[in-house]
Amino acid sequence: MMSVDQIPVKVHRCRFVDYLPVAITALAFPPLPLPSREGKAKVTLPLKFPHLAIGRANGNIELAEWTNNNPTDQAPQAWVVLKVCRPFFLMSSRE
């Protein structure tokens, strides 16, 4: 029997994770916009970062997005991977 002070906690277990780290070979993202010619336009904070492309040694390209100070996010202020693009020659060999 549980007392009033005890709260049940959900536990998730993962025994086998098929993860092989692969070296990063390239990072790329579009530059921030240039200031106006008049120089009177002020920069609004916080800046919205563009997407980041991460090239891996195995040919994968990961598209990541910067998360802001949103307290509902699991990882505030971090690059979060949105999509992994695999090379065509690897996808065709699986079929």
pLDDT digit string (tens) for the chain, length 95 residues: 556 677 777 777 777 777 778 999 999 988 877 777 776 656 555 567 788 999 999 999 999 988 876 666 666 678 888 999 988 765 555 54
Residues 85 and 59: their CA atoms lie apart, in Å, by 9
pTM over 0.85: no
Instruction: Return the exposure string of 4-33: e unless at least 16 CB atoms fall within 10 Å of the residue's CB, then b.
Output: eeeeeeeeeeeeeeeeeeeeeeeeeeeeee
| Domain ranges for the chain | 24-94
